[in-house]
Amino acid sequence: MAAGSAAFAGRAWGAPVLVAATRPRPWYRLPALRTTATLLAVLGIGQLARTGRLGPRIADVSESLRRNTLNARDEERQQKGYYEELNVANRFGSELWERYTNKPADWVGLWKTPAYHPRNDFVRFDLRPSTSTIFLRKPLHTNRWGMRDRDYDLAKPAGTFRIALLGPSFVMGSGVADGEPFADVLEARLNRELAGGRYQHYEVLNFGVPGYSLLEQAAQLDERVLAFHPDVVIISLDPDLESAIDQHLMHVVESHIPIPYDGLRAVLQDAGVFRTSIWREQRGRLRRADERIVEWALQHMAQVSRDHGAVPVAIGLGLVSGHRPTIPSLQSARGVGFLTLDLSDVYLGHDPTTLRIAEWDNHPNALGHRLIADRLFDEIRRHAATLRLDAPAR
């Protein structure tokens, strides 16, 4: 043993000696030369593309490479950060970090304004009725029903086709002025171009509330929306659907708020959500049950809408980005009887920077809302028979 150790220790354990190559590397294989040639080629292609000599598709690709934009993963993270209020910008790329650091101090969430109305129940919060404030540097007014909209009578006027629109911040119109959310723009166009036929008037009621999950849309439908006797109920599905549901239910469970739906409570019990008080375990069990929770909510909303004589419609839409997001819940909605309208491509073909309310905030601006309204108008006309626009007014 001692001899072996001595022999082992006696070996020369110095740094290895690098033996010079016997042949020098050819000049045309030098790394610096190849890198320089590649950069020159890229610059040359970019210049030709900008002058239009390589066609529009190459020009578009070249321009996208020149701009410092977010990739799809960072866009998704930014949207989740908006709803979760997480300070996660330091985990993103330089462009997203710049957006967060450029955000002014007065750019605050709705819950820091007089329009925020907290509740100690399953819905958690809503908009305070008859309130005027400034939100994201734009005037925001709510009517007597707590909607960011003009005033409506609870009873639907004769000869009126009424659409109820539910969803989160991009439905309410975060960052645009009164009259600019796509609900208002759509209502104006419907009355301008379709009124006077079978229906004398069209109303699009904006029930949007920032941060609302699909479950809060469901509760809002039962509690408030159906009392207005809508002909069509439009719910909103977005790429962050499951995350918003998980945040909502974690608050409900942690605060011991009663869940008013037996079916939803059964899903959570089956998933074991109530069998642990450890936050991480609860969150994990919720995530594994997300698909069943979404399925329950969609079935419930489709059924109660039909039971009250309204056509259930689901739109797929999100915040502004340079990518087309995937919204798998649209297929689930179609499976339970919703008319589904995929608007996830509504911003494509436009420079995203011209559609955002600010460089640090991806909510659609007034132009973005007009694009949504025009697309919805076209879809409504295309599906007139399904929406019963040709049926006698009720």
What pLDDT score does 2 carry? Answer: 45
| Pairwise CA distance, residues 171 & 252, whole Å | 24
Instruction: Mark whether 279 and 375 lie in a shared domain.
Output: yes
Instruction: Mark whether 155 and 53 lie in a shared domain.
Output: no
Instruction: Mark whether 227 and 361 lie in a shared domain.
Output: yes
Output the six-digit token pair for 37: 């040639």
Output the six-digit token pair for 271: 């998933």
Supply the angle between the helices 241-254 and 72-84 in degrees, to the nearest 10. 30
Q: Which amino acid is at 143?
A: N
Burial of 378 (0-12, 13-18, 19+ CB in 10 A): exposed
Any domain includes 119: yes
Output the six-digit token pair for 249: 């239910």
Residue 270, φ and ψ in degrees, nearest 5: -65, -30
DSSP string, 19-70: PPPSSPPPGGG-HHHHHHHHHHHHHHHHHHHHTTTT-HHHHHHHHHHHS---
What pLDDT score does 39 carry? Answer: 63
Any domain includes 76: no
Any domain includes 4: no
Task: Specify the 3-state DSSP secondary structure of 317.
Answer: coil
What pLDDT score does 197 carry? Answer: 83
Higher pLDDT, 218 or 70: 218
| Pairwise CA distance, residues 27 & 33, whole Å | 8
pLDDT in tens, 340-361: 999 999 999 999 999 999 999 9
Instruction: Mark whether 215 and 288 lie in a shared domain.
Output: yes
The region that residue 20 occupies, defined by phi over 0 for left and psi between -120 and 50 for alpha, beta otherwise, is beta
Any domain includes 83: no
Any domain includes 59: yes
pLDDT in tens, 255-289: 999 999 999 999 999 999 999 989 899 999 999 99
Torsion of CA 381, 382, 384, 386, to 10 degrees: -150
Output the six-digit token pair for 204: 């699009």
| Pairwise CA distance, residues 224 & 42, whole Å | 58
Instruction: Mark whether 169 and 308 lie in a shared domain.
Output: yes
* Residues contacting residue 92 through CB under 8 Å, at least 6 positions apart: 70, 74, 77, 78
Output the six-digit token pair for 56: 């529009």
Any domain includes 248: yes
Instruction: Mark whether 55 and 189 lie in a shared domain.
Output: no
Q: Which CATH number goes with the domain that contains 323?
A: 3.40.50.1110
Instruction: Mark whether 119 and 262 lie in a shared domain.
Output: yes
CA distances from 175 to 84, 99, 138 (A): 18, 16, 6
pLDDT in tens, 138-195: 999 999 999 999 999 999 999 999 999 999 999 999 999 999 999 999 999 999 999 9
| Pairwise CA distance, residues 67 & 183, whole Å | 33
Instruction: Mark whether 178 and 309 lie in a shared domain.
Output: yes
Its domain, for residue 319, covers 110-382
Give how many domains the chain has, as a whole number: 2
